[in-house]
Structure 1
Amino acid sequence: MLQVVWFKRDLRLEDHAALCAAAIRDRILPLVIVEPDYWRQPDVSARQWNFWRACITDLGEAIAAKGGRLCIRVGDAVSVLSAIKAEHGPFVLRAHEETGNEWTFDRDKAVRRWCKTEGIAFEENRQFGVWRGRKVNRDRWAQAWDRMMAMPAQPVPPLLMWERSVTDNLPDAAELGLTEDGVQVVPLAGRAQALATLHSFLHERGEHYTREMSSPLSGETACSRLSWHLAYGSLSIRETLQAAQARYRELPLSEKAWRQSLRSFIARLHWHCHFIQKLESEPEAEYRPMARIYDGLRPRPADAAKLAAWSEGRTGYPFIDAAMRYLNATGWINFRMRAMLMSFASYDLWLHWQESGLVLARKFIDYEPGIHWPQCQMQAGETGINTIRIYSPVKQGYDQDPTGVFIRRWLPELADVPDAWLHEPWKLTEEDRERLCPDYPDRIVDHAAAAKFAKDAIYALRRKPEARAEAKAVVQKHGSRKRTADRKRAGVKADQLKLAL
């Protein structure tokens, strides 16, 4: 029987369980469904589509090189599958499990209902170390992850028998109703680029990953830069992990910096799936705090003027604004800056994490819902279990950009401000501000006062008995069971996976 392999966020032929399962059974119809309704959701953007589109094109070329043709259909999934059934008769539908946003979750449930009604078998394979459902036992989760990641990565099947079908043209962003959003640096997509990026990180760029990943200056090259390739599946987590492990094993003991950096990177691959498991086990985490006592802590709707100032990089805090403008222009920024931006929105501006989270989701080309939403909650202090981390924008600036190279690059209106005042331009005299940076705004809030207000509000809730009871339940459902010693060796804390690898 015809095997329809539905590619979603797994745009590769290598280490593709659904493709391998199909290849040993019958002819394969490789399918990508472009769903216009998905691209109307509030967490997606043109920059994401443009990267995804390039990955789809690359997948089509890989299939063509193997003698097939990728079938692209534009429409809702159920209608597309109904049309394929009408054209080709009954089939088996195969795909990887997906932990996406609420829209994709509902879409997959609708597909399962249709398959049941039509007598179509829908077989899903696990793509990485995330287990389906709400009742995953975290006590054994890490060991199960280790076992899956230790299994050999599956090569492209040697025999691929293709079925051809009518295909649509890939739409551009405008055809999907997406407005170009000012991204200036378009990352190269596709399998070859993913492999080249992985190789350059493991053999050239990653030696000082542990030491250099925090600054937006050094992190631009020291970070792996694999996050968008993993998000769209040009690489699998297992391939990436096994390549890092192989590189680690071949390093001599004298290469201490390399070995420490690879241990840290390997730990973060584990945390990738740990966070996605949170959203899989509790889909409501996209829009409700894991600890329900925090419902209503921050006002909704958020202050529109503050949200816009933060989103556009005009808060009056130079390091915050430079980081945001860098993200706006590139679609990526390193982990500490993501945490800092979310911290500033959550504590200094007291914005609801979902509203600021939606803004960031659209900016991140590597948006991965299962990492993004638990991280937004964590950085906002609404999980009930994680340490409250309020980043000082001035201290972060001095620590990560002491001479102001990054600030001046992204805030040209501050180019003439001396180093002594660059991180705190509000300390300039009124006359000097008018002379040196007349177009830069005043700071939107006082950080010290805002941080005190936020701490007081959150700790007032945390002291309540019901908050402590909820925290225990959150730990039981979502907490890591990885041993403290393992985390120390890896150089990370249990709640410190950052948003980008």
Structure 2
Amino acid sequence: MAATLGRGARACNGGLPLGGNPAISGDMERPVICWFKRDLRVCDHPALARAAALGPVIALYIIEPEGWQQPDAAGRHYAFLQECLGELRVDLAKIGLPLTLKVGDAISTLEGLRQTHGIRHLISHEETGNGWSFERDKRVGAWARAQGVAWEELPQSGVVRRLKGRDHWQAARNAVMAAPLVPPLQACRAVEHVASDPPPTAAALGLTDACPLAPDATRLAAWERGETGLPFVDACMRALTATGWLNFRMRSMLMAVASYHLWLDWRSTGPILARRFTDYEPGIHWPQVQMQSGTTGINTIRIYNPIKQGHDQDPSGVFTRRWLPELAEVPDTQLQTPWVCEGAARILGRSYPAPVVDPVTAARHARDLVWGLRRAHKSDAETARIVTRHASRKRRRRAKPANRQLRFDF
């Protein structure tokens, strides 16, 4: 229990520390729900350890159809979830716990278990999700208070809730991350006779990996399909579509090219990338989407040069050629600019599209517009407010790096 307490766990009903919650201390043998959300593991799981210490446990996962209808959900996410639930089921069985799978909205599910099993305790990790999951958790909190259910949400990451700014974030984050690992459970008492629901298919949830596009959204469609005519951009998008993963630099470039060169609204492109990333994390994804689109108001404008990125990141052309076999006859020296090669007329507009924009002209146009807007609408007070609440407290380095790449001269 020391490790659990060291992670700063607090109860939802009133925010009392665990040791000071009278509702918990008096019901040690009532069934406890451990609600698994985005933390599908058994090792170093403070919420599971806490639940096991309180009484017999229902290890619960809820497939919420409404959550899977959100624009950032995709079929590949659901397929990955099913794999993870399969592994979780095996790991829980080793300590004597069945995985209870329910399909429906969270409040109806939790209320049903409360009525049938006398649940008084609900334990989960804090979740960093999207707007939908945030509103759902507020409704669950209201339900828990109304029904006298003690809901404890335990921190599991560097996200620190209820801070008004970043001044004390690092100390709080370090305290959580420095806490010792929770010892693995050897056995756990299970609540018997809890029925599970069969998981719905992806089709039943209406899930695909496609994102609906407006008929006139030519640039958006070209970007999503990897058919912009900018080879390295297209190779990255096709690789992401096929594998569900890209490194950080390439994710940033895809977003920046969409926002600046193609002048697309981040609210259209952000959900498409969210649906592509198998490792989609809302708390990381959306701040990065806004930063790479230049909409935060405090970050520098990062307009990547897709041609330069192709030369720098794929100097041999192996990656680009793997995903763009249409460019097989283009020489290595012109692979990132096939429109200048001798056989361009045989390729562009036929097996491979011509560029939807001129990358140099488009970048210059975007740079002029964005910096013009910043100068025209600059608000020192608003910038200070954003910095106080969200910006890093790390000191800036005085010496400029010698490498132009590190200066974001892309």
TM-score category, normalised to shorter length: 0.7 to 0.9
Q: Which runs of 5+ in 2 are unaligned?
A: 1-29
* Pair 1:103-2:142 in alignment: no
Report if the CA contact (8 A) 2:72-2:274 is conserved.
yes
1:66-465 equivalences in 2 (<5 Å): 66-133=95-162, 135-164=163-192, 165-179=194-208, 304-429=217-342, 432-434=344-346, 438-464=350-376
Shift of the 362–435 alpha-carbon distance from structure 1 to 2, 3 Å rule, reads: closer
The Cα RMSD (Å) is: 2.7
Partner of 1:232: none
Shift of the 345–132 alpha-carbon distance from structure 1 to 2, 3 Å rule, reads: same
| Structure 2: distance between partners of 1:332 and 1:57 | 22
Q: What amino acid is the match of 1:481?
A: R
Report if the CA contact (8 A) 2:262-2:357 is conserved.
yes
| Structure 1: distance between partners of 2:294 and 2:102 | 42
| Structure 2: distance between partners of 1:81 and 1:151 | 30
| Structure 1: distance between partners of 2:316 and 2:399 | 33
TM-score by length of 1: 0.71
- Of residues 66, 74, 77, the one that matches 1:37 is 66
Deviations 1:174-196 (A, max 9, x none): 232212569xxxxxxxxxxxxxx
Sequence identity percentage: 49
* Post-superposition offset of 1:494: 12
Partner of 2:21: none
Partner of 1:480: 392
* Post-superposition offset of 1:378: 0.3
3-state DSSP class of the match of 1:477?
helix
More helix by share: 1
* Post-superposition offset of 1:487: 12
- Which structure would you say has the larger Rg? 2
Partner of 2:80: 51
Q: What amino acid is the match of 2:306?
A: P
* Post-superposition offset of 1:58: 0.8
Partner of 1:251: none
Deviations 1:26-55 (A, max 9, x none): 111100000111111110100011101111
Q: What amino acid is the match of 1:305?
A: T
3-state DSSP class of the match of 1:4?
strand
3-state DSSP class of the match of 2:153?
strand
Report if the CA contact (8 A) 2:34-2:60 is conserved.
yes
| Structure 1: distance between partners of 2:216 and 2:288 | 22
* Post-superposition offset of 1:326: 0.3
Report if the CA contact (8 A) 1:302-1:355 is conserved.
no
Deviations 1:58-98 (A, max 9, x none): 11111111112010000010111111112112321111111
Shift of the 380–48 alpha-carbon distance from structure 1 to 2, 3 Å rule, reads: same
* Pair 1:17-2:17 in alignment: no
3-state DSSP class of the match of 1:174?
coil
Report if the CA contact (8 A) 1:384-1:467 is conserved.
no
3-state DSSP class of the match of 1:176?
coil
Partner of 2:8: none
Report if the CA contact (8 A) 2:235-2:323 is conserved.
yes
Deviations 1:113-149 (A, max 9, x none): 111222211111111121123x433112112212221
Report if the CA contact (8 A) 2:209-2:276 is conserved.
no
Q: Which runs of 5+ in 1 are unaligned?
A: 183-300, 497-501
Report if the CA contact (8 A) 1:50-1:172 is conserved.
no
| Structure 2: distance between partners of 1:85 and 1:305 | 51
Shift of the 436–35 alpha-carbon distance from structure 1 to 2, 3 Å rule, reads: closer
